[in-house]
Structure 1
Amino acid sequence: MSAFCNNCGSALPPGARFCSVCGNVIAGFPPAGFPPYAPRLVRPIFGRQFAGVCVGLARTYGWDVGLVRILAVISGIFLCPFPEIFYIACWIGIPEEQIQDVPPPPQP
């Protein structure tokens, strides 16, 4: 099935993201469900229990926060001292969320 540019009407090869004639972006790019930007890895101010490393990793990669915390505790018990060193390195290396980036806390 051939596709055509909505702007100039020229035929497009399969998988084209842009029209080679007019430079128009082809509909459907980026794919549906694709975030417009990658979330930054930060240690959030709200929602953290200790230093915010687990919740920061969970928010950035779309994981469940509870599962990340449970895995951190279990791996800390059985793989001592590597997870603890990783946690401290992340605590030092991951920047804290800036005040202007912070959404208001949820109202009860």
Structure 2
Amino acid sequence: MPFYCQRCGTGLPPSARFCSNCGTVVTAAPPPPGRPLVRPIVGRQIAGVCIGVAQANGWDVTLVRVLTVVGCLFTSGLVGVAYLAGWIGIPEEPIAVPGMPGTYPPGSSYPPGTPGSYPPSV
């Protein structure tokens, strides 16, 4: 995400301290505290919305879950609609595979452990 000089609007890399066009000191906003808002794969009860919100803000997940249920009851389902919107809108946590950028190593067969090439020739 590029930064922009507030004085002249020049696009700058995130590591820039000064604007290359006008020389103005560039101040970058600190990253937000906690984790990014994602629905984790591990620890979810239904869709992972409550645990994602709790982890992103540093809150207790049990408290968030209890407040969600109580809020759903006392707001005639409005919090339930917000939960469904979070289920749809909050992305799932990416699955991290060590050393793999998403492809199999060169020269290996797919699926792993199968002899020959994939797809098999008929």
Q: TM-score, length-normalised on structure 2?
A: 0.51
Aligned length: 69
CA drift at 1:80: 1.4
Gap runs ≥5 in structure 1: 1-17, 19-33, 102-108
Higher RCO structure (Cα 8 Å, ≥6 apart): 1
Q: Which amino acid aligns with 1:56?
A: G
Quote the offset at 1:40 in angstroms: 0.8
Summarize the Cα distance change of 1:86–1:36 in structure 2 as closer, same or farther, 3 Å threshold: closer
Ranges in structure 2 where 5+ consecutive residues have no aligned partner: 1-16, 18-29, 98-122
Write the letter of the residue equivalent to 1:80.
S
**Kindly tell me: are residues 86 and 35 of structure 1, through their superposed partners in 2, closer, same or farther at Cα, counting changes over 3 Å?**
same
RMSD: 2.3
Contact 2:33 2:57 survives alignment (8 Å): no
How far apart in 1 are the matches of 2:60 and 2:70?
16
* Largest Rg, 1 or 2: 2
Following TM superposition, where does structure 1 have runs of at least 4 consecutive aligned residues deviating by more than 2 angstroms?
A: 34-38
1:76 correspondence with 2:76: no
Q: Could you tell me which of 50, 55, 58 is aligned with 1:54?
A: 50
* Percent of matched pairs sharing the same residue: 52
Contact 2:34 2:55 in 1 (8 A): no
Aligned residue among 23, 38, 44 for 2:40:
44
Residue aligning to 2:20:
none
